[in-house]
Amino acid sequence: MNGESGVRRPESGVGAVVQSGVAQPSCADPAALDAILARYPAAEPSLAQVLQDVHRAYHYLPCDVLVRVSSALNVPLAKTFSVATFYKAFSLEPQGRTIVRVCTGTACHIRGAGLLLDEIARQLRVRPGETTADRQFTIKTVNCVGACAMAPVVIVGDRYHGNVKAARLAGYLGDNEQRDAN
């Protein structure tokens, strides 16, 4: 658990039962960044790849880490932030280890995506765009993911679920926790 003050911890529901699981480096922990920087030439062409690895390690791009990346690669900070904010895959806010994506494209919307989104938010006790206090899950909405025939679609981590019913959501989220713990 992150033990952050002022962050509401779920008292029940799927997000609440998650234990710490995978260790997540904090902004103050430079070890993960040192290991990443050691893998690449200290020059601007490494920037995108370094940011990808940083995002994978920290589950977001912490500001202090971006400053260190700029310095290490000798890239202006403005350029680093420009790349960090250009790609949708990057986030400057802490993300959960698992991203739960609810497709809200037309076909999914017609077939109940809104209700699924509400139910996921209820179970995890966070709103779309937010991350659970234990940093296990972040809820996001996405546009059509090209699987309209199986609408409504919910993607938990890298797993696509089609023809989703609200009653199955807890199982999908729980399965993911199980795999994460193993």
Q: Which residues bind ligand FES (CB under 6 A)?
A: 103, 105-108, 144-145, 147-148, 151, 153
Decide whether 7 or 144 has the Cβ nearer to ligand FES. Answer: 144
DSSP annotation of 46: G
Question: Does residue 151 sit in helix, strand or coil?
Answer: coil
Nearer to ligand FES, 62 or 152 (CB): 152
Q: Which is nearer to ligand FES, 83 or 102 (CB)?
A: 102
**Residue number of the CB atom closest to ligand FES:** 105
State how far the Cα of 9 lies from the Cα of 3, in Å rounded to an integer: 9
Q: Report, in Å, the least distance between residue 59 CB and ligand FES.
A: 25
CB of 176 to ligand FES, least distance (A): 20
CB closer to ligand FES out of 139 and 153: 153
Report in angstroms how near the CB of residue 161 gets to ligand FES at its nearest: 11
d(CA 44, CA 154): 37
Q: Quote the least distance from Cβ 113 to ligand FES, whole Å.
A: 7
The DSSP element (H or E) to which 176 belongs, if any, is helix 169-181
**The tokens of 163 are what?**
């023809």
Give me the phi and psi of 138, to 5 degrees please: -125, 135
**CA end-to-end span of the chain:** 18
